[in-house]
Chain A
Amino acid sequence: MVTVSELIKTESNKPELFQAGSSACAGCASILALRWALKALGPKTVVIAPASCANVYIGIWPKASSAVPYINMAFAAGASAASGVVAGYEALGKKDINVLTWAGDGGTVDIGIQALSGAIERSTNFIYACYDNEGYMNTGTQRSSSTPKHTKTTTTPFGKGMHKKDIAQIVAAHDIPYVATCVATDPQEIYNIFSEAKQIQGSKFIHILSPCAPGWRFAASKTTELGDLAVKTGFFLLWKQVNGELIVHKRTQKYLDKKKRLPIEAYLSEQGRFGDLNQEQIQDLQNWVDRRCEKLARQL
């Protein structure tokens, strides 16, 4: 695990792989995560980006902010196109190139889940990262199956009726060698996780909660705060499963204790998308958090 001071020392003199020219929204956490993921993976990396914000924020043609090969890909094809890239490199004897699929939650939990499941089943040697901003933000904030319950989106104007799909657990059930969860607002953790994933042969899946200022309706200056609150309230659980072994992050371990955990309202009240929730709805989300924390605690 790299410390912040080590990180500054090792990374500050290296060329930036995610450069100026991006057209991301103010306060975008996803580009922060991609920038630090690329620092960890290094220049011998290719990125496959299925339809998502990442197709737009990479730059409007002919601008491009990526200094590694970056391929815009069809929505459902993030994992399948990456499988082909891996196969092509293997067939041509090209080694030591990291293949990274960088997908949103729609491209992962909805339209891309079949291709993702297939690629993992085939032990494709690649990293699949899902930056999860909990909805179709690029198309104007429609609900996805990763949108939390009671969220107001443009297709759930009175709130979504069901809970968020747990994609990391679904992937973990594939007996994949590496799954990890993290928040996009923690560069050090992103760096550590991608550095670790890079060393492992086979399929790696990284689930990144990515606060989205326009979609979640909070001030762009509050991005990192939101990422932090997601962890402190237990809304987003930090854990990894490495070769079948579950390791819960020490921050989440602390917040599994209900007494130490912040009430969910601390997280919800910061976001316009949870505006006007009644006490019953807030309690419903609190119960969901509590249930998930208890379940994870039992697995320790």
Chain B
Amino acid sequence: MSKIKKSEMDKEQTIIMSGNYASAWGAKCSRVKAISAYPITPQTTVVEKLADFVDGGELDARYVKVESEHSVMASLVGSSMTGARSFTATSGQGLLYMTEMLHWVSSSRLPIVTTIASRGIAPPWNIWAEYTDILSIRDCGWIIQFASTHQEIFDSVLMSYKIAENQGVMLPYFIVYGGFTQSHTSKPVRIPPQKEIDAFLPPPPEKGWSHLNLDPENPVTFGNLLMPQQEYLDFRFLIHDSMVKSKKIIQKTIKEFKKSFKRDYSGLAENYKCNDADVVLISYGALAEQSKIAVDELRKEGKKVGLFKLRYIRPFPNEELVKLFNSDVKVIGIADQGTAFGNPTGGPISTEVMSLLRQSNRKIKVLPYVWGLGGRDVTVDEQIRVFHQLIQLKNKNEYPTDDTFQHGTVWMGLKTGA
């Protein structure tokens, strides 16, 4: 039995901690039973902190310290199949290395939660904030949520298990934040009394998951080969179907969380001053959080601008985006902190957002951006300049003319001739 201090059971604490510690605290307070991990910068302090918790007796869990990320996720497939709440954290190359097992998890419908301290993909080596790691595996059947504050990292872990373990969802869950800018900076994080967390997030069913529980008393064979005319296609559809339907469970869980802990995470996307805006920037992650400052600055000058922050990209917030398209908005900028080489825009999410434009009859101009790759600074001033470019597009129908505008997308700060 874990030794949770009586004070932690009954009282809320506020602790100044890094984003990575917020992830580890989230796992501890969710009372995970199985952890498996392999170190990678900038995720390392998550797994170090978890080792402190487990070895120090504060968290009653088995911690399997494996020899690679492939084994991390394979090990969690095993532990989750026994019905144990299972957790890990990784980054960049590590996430890519476990790709095969990511599909294994979602196709086995196992509610594993993984936090990602995102980093650039090598070569050249890069360990700083960029989301190409998670974006490049976005279609593997995991829910993908960005956490743009330290508090949100912690709170999201609690919510993620409640969502993932819901009978109508049964899908794995990624919580994503930026390497170093979030993983290694420190902020106060409020940790609710464990008693209240336990009430919000009860343990998984004792008899394991209803569809797959590794129990010799009730033997099942899982994953047998099936023929093309059998139900392979149908199983695939059910994953997509559950992902789409998970939106309701996500919204419900956010409401329940607000009721329990008085913090509101708005939904699949956050509409920041978009209702009367004619120029809107769509983005995600901590840079989107920072864009709120740019919006406030421009609002002071009377510019009708807004920020539309994507909290989730899987499931994709279709309804929220179409609602935005049907508002007064005339110009939309979409900023990706990651790449999709050779796709229509060069940025994965800008292409996906544009694919929804046809669902609205309004004529909206769009300007895709790629920014902040490999941790490249994106300052508030630069974000204000982005809004000015979008306003220019609205007022004069003029696209940028400098060298950063390439193949229809602005690659912010691009050094041409590099």
Where the two chains meet, the residues of A that have a C-beta atom closer than 8 Å to any C-beta of B are 43-46, 48, 55-56, 58-64, 66-74, 76-77, 79-92, 94, 97, 114-115, 117-118, 121-122
Contacts and interface: CB of A to CB of B under 8 A. Distances in A.
Nearest to A76: B70
A91 B61 contact: yes
Contacts of A63: 224
Nearest to B76: A84
Interface string B322-348: 000000000000000000000000000
Given A80-B66, A88-B82, A115 B219 contact: no
Contacts of B43: none
15 contacts: A60-B224, A63-B224, A74-B74, A74-B100, A80-B74, A80-B75, A81-B78, A84-B36, A86-B78, A88-B33, A88-B79, A91-B79, A92-B33, A92-B83, A115-B67
B104 interface: yes
B74 A87 contact: no
Q: Which of A69, A97, A114 has the most CB of B within 10 A?
A: A69
Given A83-B64, A84-B77, A85-B214, A60 B225 contact: yes
B81 interface: yes
Contact of B222 (A67, A71, A84, A87): A71
Nearest to A121: B67
A43 B218 CA distance: 10
A91 B62 contact: yes
Interface of B: 33-34, 36, 60-62, 64-68, 70-72, 74-84, 86, 100-101, 104, 214-216, 219-227, 230-231
A80 B214 contact: no
Contact of A82 (B33, B78, B84): B78
A254 B105 CA distance: 50
A118 B71 contact: yes
Contacts of B81: 71, 84-85, 88
Contacts, number: 163
B78 A85 contact: yes
Given A66-B219, A68-B216, A87 B62 contact: yes
Nearest to A64: B221
B78 A48 contact: yes
Nearest to B218: A69
A91 B70 contact: no
A15 to B, nearest CB: 12
B159 to A, nearest CB: 22
A71 B223 contact: yes
Nearest to A96: B216
Contacts of B83: 88, 92
A61 B78 contact: no
Nearest to A45: B216
Contacts of B65: 122
B222 A70 contact: yes
A35 to B, nearest CB: 15
A74 B62 contact: no
Contacts of A70: 219-222
Contact of B78 (A56, A87, A118): A87
A43 B223 CA distance: 20
A68 B219 contact: yes
Contact of A87 (B36, B224, B225): B36
A177 B72 CA distance: 24
A114 B67 contact: yes
B228 to A, nearest CB: 12
